[in-house]
Amino acid sequence: MKSPHRSRSHRSPFRRRIAASIALVGLGAVTIAGCNADAGGNAGDGDAGAGDGADKPTLVISLDSAVDILDPQQWRTPGAMVTTGSLVEQLIEQTYETEGIANLGTTEMENALAESYTYSEDGTTITAVLREGLTFTDGTPLTAADVVWSYQRGLEGNTTYTKVLYAMVGLTSESFTAVDERTVEIRAEFASPLLDKMLAMQPFGILSQATAEANGTPEDPFAEDWYRQNDNSSGPYTVASFDPTTSIVLEPNPAYYDQDKIANSRITIQFVSDPSQRALLLQSGEIDLAGGLPLDQVAQLEDVEGLEVVSEASNRLEYLGINTTQAPFDDPRVRQAIALALPYQTFVDEIMYGYANASTGLVPEQMETHSADAGAFEEDLDAARALLSEAGVLDFTTTLSFKQSSAVESRAAVYIQSALAEIGITVEINALPDAEFTQRTSARDLELYLNNFLGWGADPFYQMKSLVGTGSGTNFNNYGNADLDALIQTGFETQDAAERDAISAEAQRIIFDEMPLIPLWNPDWTYVVRDGVSGLTKDNTEQLRLQYLTKE
């Protein structure tokens, strides 16, 4: 007897339906993939040529962040700042002192695109003459008009941080003139030692006006869209390929005026999201340099053969912010009491694994004009309790906020909670999503919070104005002091070193007495490299300068 289960009339339709289902699913998958055929894959050709220097080394590095865009005035990640720093060159360049395999920035400058660079007698006007025969990568001439246009773009485009810098040194969009093809005149409203440092920074690299005109639109006259994904380099390197999801490959710019200064035939910056994997790749020899590694891993890598840890003192400041208009923090004695209760050396030893310096003030020890007389940051619980008692504030509760993504701040919050409990302050820890933290610091409604800041140019007055100047965009403490503001502005406009020291010392003393925020530590500038890598260069924005990095 034949089983009905073997009947073809039962079997075939089912199989046809299964086949139809598979075909439908397959068609869907191919359609989805096909729809994205143009969008997928790498933006560049991915096959970087060896450039002109085939005998030069190639480097593979991985930084703490990916490269988002290639516009040197609008990047948003540190990785992009490092990268674009080698795609543009400034009129002048900082000089460096070599310490081991690191180059540390000095206050002296040297000519870069400029062959001469002179100040007027009153120090307010700079006349720079460009080198002869300069061109961008595409072969178009680099002229004084490009310099003026680039600076004006920094002020008039959709930039923010360059605008802040211009204002600090008294520059407006009318300050720049192209005297002739090669001569630029820069007139500041006042003489400032910060001007030199600023003009040597990467955001003041020179871009091509002709390229912008060719690729801009009436709505986008500065070609910001084009510059996000493209370059026409005035610096030592140019982009061979760029995939924002994976890597960027740089190769020597054939139009660069000094080919001998280009140390590598290729630099690949690989975007590795997980810092632990970055460390693993370094150990296995797949990459030559890693940045942004967790400090416990850095400490472990100290003993790994074939690797070298480079750790240099930095001006970056980790601080405890205080809402100075909210009771009881509106009383300076309460803020001072908190400062006296904190275990500064413990932060360095336990949280930073020694890769930091304990707090020496808002103007840290290694920054010019630092004043040790302003006051020391030392733990003294009795003095802290006495101050709270004097202020009539005992046993209160507050909230300490920080970015959820920061493991360091998360640990620091626990130490602070424990330390303040010793003087009767109950701290509730509040880890906020990064977006909410940013919003609430901008709204200036957090009571206590952990944050960090790096003042470009290692300038004490820039540092003070940014963090405690009235109305400053990065003063999240609601603190304002007209006398202090005036002192800081005087400091900006003073060139005499002794006078600057005196003004700065007075400002630091006021800040210590008022304690609008509490400096906790200065984290080191830290990278781990494979043996043979040299030229790790820290400029005055504390970024890595790729043009000096190389390996044997």
Partner 1 sequence: MVRYLLRRLAISAITVVGLVLVVFLVVRILPGDAAAARLGPEATQDDIDALRTRMGLDQPIWVQLGDYLAGLVRGDMGTAISTGRPVADELLSRLPATIELAAGGLLIALLLGFPLGMLAASRRGRTSDAAARLFAVLGSSMAPLWLGLLLIYGLYSLAGLFPGPVGRLPIGTPPPTSITGLFVLDGLLTGNLDVVWQSMRALALPALTLGLGASAAVLKMVRSAMIATEDAGFTRTARAYGVPASQVLWRDRLRNAMLQVLTAIGLVIGFLLGGNVIVERLFSWPGMGRIAYDALGSNDLELLQGYALIVGVIYIALNFVVDLVYGVIDPRIRLGGRAA
Q: How far apart are CA 30 and CA 27, in angstroms?
A: 5
306 versus 473: smaller Cβ distance to partner 1: 473
Contact 149, 173 (CB under 8 A): no
Minimum CB–partner distance for residue 202 and partner 1 (Å): 16
Minimum CB–partner distance for residue 456 and partner 1 (Å): 11
Q: Which of 7, 12, 25, 390 binds partner 1 (CB under 8 A)?
A: 25
Q: How far apart are CA 336 and CA 339, in angstroms?
A: 5
Q: Which of 399, 442, 445, 497 binds partner 1 (CB under 8 A)?
A: 442
* Residue span binding partner 1 (CB under 8 A) among the ranges 16-24, 130-138, 319-327, 489-497: 16-24
Q: Does 14 bind partner 1 (CB under 8 A)?
A: yes
Q: Does 33 bind partner 1 (CB under 8 A)?
A: yes
Q: Does 350 bind partner 1 (CB under 8 A)?
A: no
Length of the chain: 552
Q: Which residues contact 377 (CB under 8 A, 6 or more apart)?
A: 339, 342, 344, 358, 359, 360, 361, 518, 519
Minimum CB–partner distance for residue 484 and partner 1 (Å): 20
Binding mask 234-253 for partner 1 (x = CB under 8 A): ---------xxxxx------
**DSSP helix/strand/coil, 536:** strand
164 versus 313: smaller Cβ distance to partner 1: 164
Q: How far apart are CA 237 and CA 233, in angstroms?
A: 7
106 versus 439: smaller Cβ distance to partner 1: 439
- Contacts with partner 1: how many residues (CB under 8 A)? 72
Q: Which of 50, 280, 313, 383 binds partner 1 (CB under 8 A)?
A: 280
Minimum CB–partner distance for residue 254 and partner 1 (Å): 21
Phi-psi region of 111 (alpha: psi -120 to 50; beta: other; left: phi over 0): beta
Pair of tokens at residue 101 = 């395999």
Q: Does 34 bind partner 1 (CB under 8 A)?
A: yes
Q: Does 12 bind partner 1 (CB under 8 A)?
A: no
Q: Does 8 bind partner 1 (CB under 8 A)?
A: no
The three-state DSSP-derived secondary structure of 320-339 is EEECCCCCCCCCHHHHHHHH
Phi then psi dihedrals of residue 165, to 5 deg? -65, -45
Minimum CB–partner distance for residue 131 and partner 1 (Å): 33
Pair of tokens at residue 312 = 């240099």
447 versus 524: smaller Cβ distance to partner 1: 447
Q: Does 273 bind partner 1 (CB under 8 A)?
A: yes
Binding mask 65-84 for partner 1 (x = CB under 8 A): -x-xx----x-x--------
**DSSP helix/strand/coil, 121:** coil
Label residue 440 exposed, middle or buried (CB < 10 Å: 0-12, 13-18, 19+): middle
20 versus 327: smaller Cβ distance to partner 1: 20
Q: Does 272 bind partner 1 (CB under 8 A)?
A: yes
DSSP state of 40: S
Q: Does 378 bind partner 1 (CB under 8 A)?
A: no
Antiparallel, parallel or unpaired: β 102-111 and 536-538: parallel
Q: Which of 8, 9, 39, 218 binds partner 1 (CB under 8 A)?
A: 39
DSSP state of 234: S
Contact 199, 193 (CB under 8 A): no
Minimum CB–partner distance for residue 61 and partner 1 (Å): 11
Binding mask 217-236 for partner 1 (x = CB under 8 A): -------xx--xx-------
The amino acid present at 164, given as its one-letter code, is V
Minimum CB–partner distance for residue 436 and partner 1 (Å): 4
> What's the distance, CA 18 to chain centroid?
56
Contact 252, 260 (CB under 8 A): no
- Helix, strand and coil content of the chain, in percent to the nearest 5, comes to 35, 25, 40
Pair of tokens at residue 246 = 């994976």
Pair of tokens at residue 544 = 């890595």
Minimum CB–partner distance for residue 187 and partner 1 (Å): 24
Q: Which of 94, 234, 270, 526 binds partner 1 (CB under 8 A)?
A: 270
Q: Which of 20, 394, 421, 497 binds partner 1 (CB under 8 A)?
A: 20
34 versus 532: smaller Cβ distance to partner 1: 34
Angle at 444 between CA 441 and CA 448, to 5 degrees: 75
* Residue ranges in 118-177 that form contacts with partner 1 under rule CB under 8 A: 160-161, 163-164
**How many other C-beta atoms lie within 10 A of the C-beta of residue 80?**
23
Residue with the two structure tokens 């400032």 = 192
DSSP state of 83: H
Minimum CB–partner distance for residue 342 and partner 1 (Å): 25
Minimum CB–partner distance for residue 449 and partner 1 (Å): 13
Q: Does 47 bind partner 1 (CB under 8 A)?
A: yes
DSSP state of 259: G
* Residue ranges in 397-416 that form contacts with partner 1 under rule CB under 8 A: 405
Residue with the two structure tokens 């790994």 = 304
Beta bridge partners of 99: 102
* Residue span binding partner 1 (CB under 8 A) among the ranges 124-132, 191-199, 433-441, 520-528: 433-441
Nearest in space to 193 (alpha carbons), one of 177, 174, 170? 170
Q: Does 103 bind partner 1 (CB under 8 A)?
A: no
* Residue ranges in 450-489 that form contacts with partner 1 under rule CB under 8 A: 473-474
* Residue span binding partner 1 (CB under 8 A) among the ranges 171-179, 265-273, 323-331, 346-354: 265-273
Q: Does 379 bind partner 1 (CB under 8 A)?
A: no
* Residue ranges in 286-315 that form contacts with partner 1 under rule CB under 8 A: 286-287
* Residue ranges in 513-552 that form contacts with partner 1 under rule CB under 8 A: none
**DSSP helix/strand/coil, 187:** strand
4 versus 139: smaller Cβ distance to partner 1: 4
